[in-house]
């Protein structure tokens, strides 16, 4: 109780979550009256990041940096426009499809929203779309980033769960595609109701030119995902090859990337990677404290009194994580919940850890689009000037359809495991 009180007090004081986790471990050792635990503290910190799979995190971040500097994002938007831009609500479809394609390179919801909002919202507003709806739709498109590989959240989950990084990345492909299709279905319905504007039709020559210009950029996700699916490379090796592919395409095809930009890009990527990896390190201490204090066993006993079967358990987890995700960012949310819930899911209810990981990640990402925090909405608001609260109401159908996907993922494990060997 002393450790919990200290942890909550530090969070309320605004202390970063990583420090809350690390200092919480110190408080627990002091409260336990067992000073022999102190020598284990640095070992737990080191053990948390002593994982080959975590090298994929800075490499995936570097891919995103190179892609942004190489003009690849705009070409992906142009490619989507060539196929869907002329439909009723065409720019809305383009927004979602481009987000899906970009997410297969970036893997970060907030970074994706910041980039795509600058491109898509002005274009949609110019065509007559409401700016609030356009910004909100872009925020939901960013939800695809942590689901479709590469995904920093899946890499962190794999480290916490001692699961295969490659398996976790592959497990997100089918749910990401299904969510994209669901979003397009919502757009079709809303477009009929609100009479969304159509886009400009392109001639065959214009479409051909756009496809030829943008097609090589798709080699990046093909290299990353294809090498993992085929077994030619693991997630870390695929990330390294993807970085090289992004650099070569940006330098010699789009000709907007310069190798002189690499030091600055690597510095930005290194800073973000250090933040994520420090969180993972302190999470190891947090998990150690939980196990030593027998917290998972106590929580399991309470849950078993309510949930008699795996589906009921998963639905309860959905509700709990959705609430947690509204106030805590994705990676910290993983760190605080996975060490408690995963042992219960696997040992008590026999749930596949990969299916559980997909449900947890989708849940926490949806929390980024839910009040009171809704971080992705605030990122979109900072870029576009739209109001976060109005964005949530304007895009409420997308929230509902995302909840439907969560229920389906909870009931049908094969949706997550279809491509996993």
* Least confident among 99-113, 131-145, 329-343, 374-388: 99-113
Model confidence at 352, in pLDDT bands (50, 70, 90)?
A: very high
- Name, of 35-44, 105-114, 136-145, 297-306, the range with top average pLDDT: 136-145
pLDDT above 90: percentage of residues in the chain: 15
Residues 253-278 have a mean pLDDT of 83
Model confidence at 368, in pLDDT bands (50, 70, 90)?
A: confident
Residues 161-190 have a mean pLDDT of 91
406 or 256: whose pLDDT is higher? 406
Distance CA 135, CA 120 (A): 8
* Least confident among 12-21, 54-63, 161-170, 315-324: 12-21
- pTM here is 0.80
Residues 355-384 have a mean pLDDT of 83
pLDDT of residue 143: 85
Model confidence at 406, in pLDDT bands (50, 70, 90)?
A: very high
Residue 168 in contact with residue 371, Cβ under 8 Å? no
145 by Cβ neighbours in 10 Å (0-12 / 13-18 / 19+) ranks as buried
pLDDT for 291-331, tens place per residue? 777 776 677 777 777 888 899 999 988 988 887 777 676 77
* Least confident among 211-215, 324-328, 348-352: 324-328
pLDDT of residue 71: 78
Task: Tell me the average pLDDT of the chain.
Answer: 82
Model confidence at 199, in pLDDT bands (50, 70, 90)?
A: low
Model confidence at 107, in pLDDT bands (50, 70, 90)?
A: low
Chain-centroid distance of CA 351 in Å reads 22
The first and second tokens of residue 362, run together, are: 């989708």
pLDDT for 38-92, tens place per residue? 788 888 788 777 777 777 778 877 887 787 777 777 787 888 877 776 677 788 8
């Amino acid at each position: 109780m002393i450790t919990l009180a200290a942890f909550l007090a530090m969070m309320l004081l605004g202390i970063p979550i990583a420090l809350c986790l690390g200092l919480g471990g110190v408080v627990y050792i002091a409260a336990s009256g067992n000073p022999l635990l102190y020598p284990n503290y640095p070992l737990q910190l080191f053990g948390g990041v002593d994982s080959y799979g975590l090298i994929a995190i800075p490499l995936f971040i570097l891919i995103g940096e190179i892609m942004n500097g190489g003009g690849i994002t705009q070409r992906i938007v142009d490619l989507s426009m060539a196929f869907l831009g002329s439909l009723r609500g065409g720019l809305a479809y383009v927004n979602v499809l481009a987000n899906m394609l970009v997410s297969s390179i970036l893997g970060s919801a907030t970074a994706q929203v910041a980039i795509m909002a600058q491109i898509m919202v002005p274009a949609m507003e110019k065509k007559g779309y409401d700016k609030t709806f356009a910004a909100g739709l872009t925020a939901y498109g960013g939800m695809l980033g942590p689901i479709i590989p590469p995904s920093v959240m899946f890499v962190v989950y794999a480290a916490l769960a001692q699961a295969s990084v490659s398996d976790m990345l592959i497990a997100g492909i089918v749910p990401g595609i299904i969510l994209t299709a669901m979003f397009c279905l919502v757009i079709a319905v809303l477009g009929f109701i609100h009479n969304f504007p159509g886009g400009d039709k392109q001639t065959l020559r214009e479409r051909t030119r756009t496809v030829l210009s943008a097609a090589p950029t798709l080699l990046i996700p093909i290299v990353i995902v294809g090498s993992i699916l085929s077994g030619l490379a693991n997630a870390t090796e695929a990330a390294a090859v993807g970085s090289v592919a992004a650099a070569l395409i940006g330098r010699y095809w789009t000709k907007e990337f310069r190798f002189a930009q690499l030091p600055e890009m690597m510095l930005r990527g290194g800073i973000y990677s250090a933040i994520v990896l420090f969180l993972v390190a302190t999470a190891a201490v947090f998990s150690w404290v939980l196990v030593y204090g027998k917290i998972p066993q106590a929580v399991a006993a309470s849950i078993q009194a309510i949930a008699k079967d795996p589906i009921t358990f998963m639905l309860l987890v959905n509700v709990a994580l959705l609430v947690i995700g509204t106030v805590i960012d994705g990676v910290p949310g993983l760190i605080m919940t996975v060490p408690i819930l995963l042992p219960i899911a696997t040992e008590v209810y026999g749930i596949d850890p990969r299916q559980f990981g997909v449900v947890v990640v989708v849940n926490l990402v949806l929390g980024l689009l839910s009040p009171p925090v809704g971080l992705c909405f605030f990122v979109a608001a900072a870029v576009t000037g739209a109001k976060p609260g109005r964005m949530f109401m304007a895009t409420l159908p997308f929230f509902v359809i995302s909840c439907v996907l969560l229920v389906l993922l909870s009931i049908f494990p094969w949706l997550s495991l279809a491509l996993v060997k």
